[in-house]
Amino acid sequence: MGETLTGGMVVSRALARYGVRSVFAVAGASHTHLLDALDHDGFRVISSRHESGCVGAADGYARISGRIGVALIIADQGTPNAINGIAAAFHAGSPVLVLVARLPNSWIEAEPEYDNAKHPLVGSITKWAHSVPSAERLAEFVDAACKRALSGRRGPVVLQVPQEFLGATVTGLGAAARPAPLIPRGAADPALVAQAAALLRGARRPLLVAGAGAAWGQAGAPLAALVERCDLPIAGNGLGRGVVPEDWERSFNWPLMQIAAKDADVVCVVGARLKQRLGYGLPPRFAPDAKFIQVDVEPEELSRNRRIDVPIVADAGLACQQVLDAMLAGGASRGMRANWVREALRERLRHLDEIAAAPSGTAVHPLALGREIARLLPENAIVVGDGADVQNWMYGALRVRRAPGFLDHYPMGAMGTGTPLAVGAAAAARELSIARREPLRPVVLTTGDGSFGFYPAELHAAAQAGLKLVCVVGNDGAWGTELHGQLQAIKRTVNTELGYARYDLVGQGFGCHGEHVERPADLRPALERAFAANGPSVVNVVIDRAAGAQLKSDPLVRMILFDDLAGNLKYQHEFAS
């Protein structure tokens, strides 16, 4: 006789075909049979403490592993709690499968106050949301969900399962008996590739901008060749950071580099959307007469806000290889064209070096904190960014040299999501290290005291799972951005003071190694102990509050920009038409 199968076993076997070996779950009786099957099948089940944290960890896992992230929550209380995590994954384009266990069908009222079957809470923040109609179709619906999550612009999906289906006896694996569906990759139109190569070849000040799509499309090798062999500078944004290792000679992070973008005459945007972070592609962030090439897997993204001169619908990796081949076939010559960015940033880089090297006062400057972290990071490190003022300074300190290697709360801007992202990233790093027999990629989260307060309990999940990550809290005792904004606007503060809480003790309470730093001389030893710890660590660093005021007054250190957005609204009609 064949194996007796439960619905939970079918779901477990279906997920295994996608290479997933870790899942994230908020414990609940509704998932009992699925959790049992996952455990028997060798999955690591990481116990999250909040539904948004659970989805956020699955998001971080997906971004680093390149696979689908899986979050297990329940329907009634769980779905409302998960909204922030799902929305953050949706805006970031992360493939996350949220498996929602629902009360048994026989318990559903005829006129319920909230109708789970219609998915009203998640319809606008998912690529796909459905309920499984019968236990026999579980694998079929898992495949449909995963295919939607992984196709085109990736994103979260929700699959709701009546809990009795997971414990039901089924007669076979169904779709899970076959390999997972293949996800095809689309190449670019050769005529448009030729136009893109011609524009780049003739540019005096070319610029490549790489976003998350470049990382998902594994475009690193052809982009690195375009930088090296065709002498093109590149700026990475979000998950696109590190697709070409950042050396601050020809490869930069976008926030650091963006003040120079207005001088580019040809801009090639690869897998990045022309949204707020990129100034919508409009003046004053870019020149009015700059020529634009854009590569994106979704046709709808092309000519968003700014009309694109050469729009290319394709997988980023395939398209970049085609452009590289066309450039080399056309006799692209090495020149000094990449140097224009470094020259344009000379004053900013010099100024940052001077700030970091200035004599230490009684508190740690956040830029000096970032530079100290940078000294400890190996080239394979994974950096997770959170907060506002602290994040701004980290762009002037930390270099990402391997992709995927940078995660943050962009583009939604949901403060606090860095903590669950880091948990998921650490889980993926451990899994890949074991599978590939390569050194473990260390994970470091830099965050502010305000942002750390959202999901600190997710560090308990990291400690219980034995994950190695370092969380560095830059503690200025306030909502720093708001505090200094209020001081500018009304000369006093209201509801922005937090006090200098001991977040290291919070970490210790959850089973992490904890360090508290008040003096600059104590910073390096504390960080070294945290990096050497055998599990998660929290380093609570009291930072110089005056550094936040500097961000309001010194344009050379301001890397998160908003003040030009009102100005470029007048260009939107002209450049979109």
Q: What are the tokens at 360?
A: 């230490």
C-alpha 142/C-alpha 468 separation (Å) is 31
- Percentage of the chain beyond pLDDT 70 is 95
Kindly state the helix (H) or strand (E) to which residue 381 belongs, with its residue range. none
Would you say residue 25 has pLDDT above 70?
Answer: yes
Name the CATH code of domain 190-344 (choices 2.40.30.170, 3.40.50.720, 3.40.50.1220, 3.40.109.10): 3.40.50.1220
C-alpha 418/C-alpha 421 separation (Å) is 5
Buried b (16+ CB within 10 A) or exposed e, 545-576: bebbbbbeeeebbbbbbeeeeeebeebeeebe
Tens of pLDDT, residues 411-428: 888 999 999 999 999 999
Tell me the torsion sign for CA atoms 488, 495, 49, 476: positive
CA-atom Rg of the chain in angstroms: 24
Would you say residue 385 has pLDDT above 50?
Answer: yes
Q: What are the tokens at 299?
A: 């046709």
Would you say residue 147 has pLDDT above 50?
Answer: yes
Going from the C-alpha of 253 to that of each of 280, 281, 351, 363, the distances in angstroms are 17, 17, 17, 27
Q: What are the tokens at 18?
A: 């996608």
> Are the C-beta atoms of residues 92 and 128 closer than 8 Å to each other?
no
| Higher local confidence (pLDDT), 296 or 486 | 296
pLDDT band of residue 108 (cuts 50, 70, 90) is confident
Tens of pLDDT, residues 267-320: 999 999 999 999 999 999 999 999 999 999 999 999 998 999 999 999 999 999
User: In 153-288, which ranges are continuous DSSP H helix?
Assistant: 163-167, 190-202, 212-216, 220-230, 254-257
Return the domain boundaries, the chain. 5-177, 190-344, 346-553
CATH superfamily assigned to domain 5-177: Thiamin diphosphate (ThDP)-binding fold, Pyr/PP domains (3.40.50.970)
Would you say residue 1 has pLDDT above 60?
Answer: no
Q: Fold match between 190-344 and 346-553?
A: yes
| Residue from 118, 406, 372, 77 nearest 245 by CA | 406
Look at residue 188 in the predicted model and tell me its pLDDT: 97
Mean predicted confidence (pLDDT) in 389-400: 97
Whole-model pTM above 0.85? yes
Give SS3 for 532. helix
pLDDT band of residue 566 (cuts 50, 70, 90) is low
Would you say residue 576 has pLDDT above 70?
Answer: no
Would you say residue 550 has pLDDT above 70?
Answer: yes
**Does the domain spanning 346-553 belong to CATH 3.40.50.150?**
no
